Amino acid sequence: MTLREQLDLTGRVALVTGSGSGIGRGIALALAEQGASVVINDIREEAAHESERVIRSEGRRVATTVADISRPDGAQAAVKACLSAFGRLDILVNNAGRQVIKDLATMEPDEWNALMNVNLKAAYLCSKYAIPALRVRRGTIVNISSVHARATLGAFAAYAASKAGLLGLTRGMALEYSSIGIRVNAVSPGTIDTPLLQEFFDSSSDPRQSRADFLKLHPIGRFGTPADIGNLIVFLASDAASFITGAEFVADGGMTISLRKE
């Protein structure tokens, strides 16, 4: 089988959580472009339907489920939407996430819980309810972690903890479910050029300079794009990655490899 044939996802069904915009939309679009039928999930109805419109405009098969997947009923509904729309589930991408940029002394317990519920608990819940369907298809799970799981910044401790937890969850699930044919891997993006990133720069006193300074931290000379992450997910979801499970793939343009930051 050629590499092109191994990367072909025609006939498979993917659920991408948090795919109403940004990285999630890029992942959903990349999977659809390789032939997968995609189910968009987001808690934001308008954003979810915009992602659906973008994918449908390219002639791809897509459905949408607006559900809070940090709740058991919402996670179950998202999985059921895949089975209802397309009759199967082959690929689960646990992408939904949120940030709370606060030091721990000022972070409220409700803020901590809300972050952990979306970033970590939702991945557990969606995986739990997806595993029976994935078992039938010998499917795959990809958890979207972050470079913050390994090297972080001040005021990001809670976010870093949630993303490090996803790496532990990835390894544990890979061990538990490899015997039934389910592969589980993680992707840790670095700086991805999305509207959310620009909002971060815009919050500084000099957004243009802030963006330029941050760009210097990337040896590759640019920020990542949602398509960069989407293409990596395509590989991990495909037969080309059939020998890979329990692994973390860092996609950060070299940001975390340098000992010295200019």
Of the candidates 124, 129, 159, 177, the residue annotated as catalytic is 159
In angstroms, rounded to a whole number, what is the distance separating the alpha carbons of residues 45 and 216? 37
Residue 145 near residue 167, CB atoms below 8 Å: yes
Q: Which of these, 86, 85, 98, lies nearest to 17 by C-alpha position? A: 98
In angstroms, rounded to a whole number, what is the distance separating the alpha carbons of residues 157 and 167? 16
Tell me if residue 172 falls in helix, strand or coil. helix
Q: Is 159 a catalytic residue?
A: yes
User: Quick one: 218 exposed, middle or buried, by C-beta within 10 A (0-12, 13-18, 19+)?
Assistant: middle
Residue 69 near residue 124, CB atoms below 8 Å: no
Q: Which of these, 27, 112, 127, lies nearest to 69 by C-alpha position? A: 127
Q: Which residues are catalytic?
A: 159
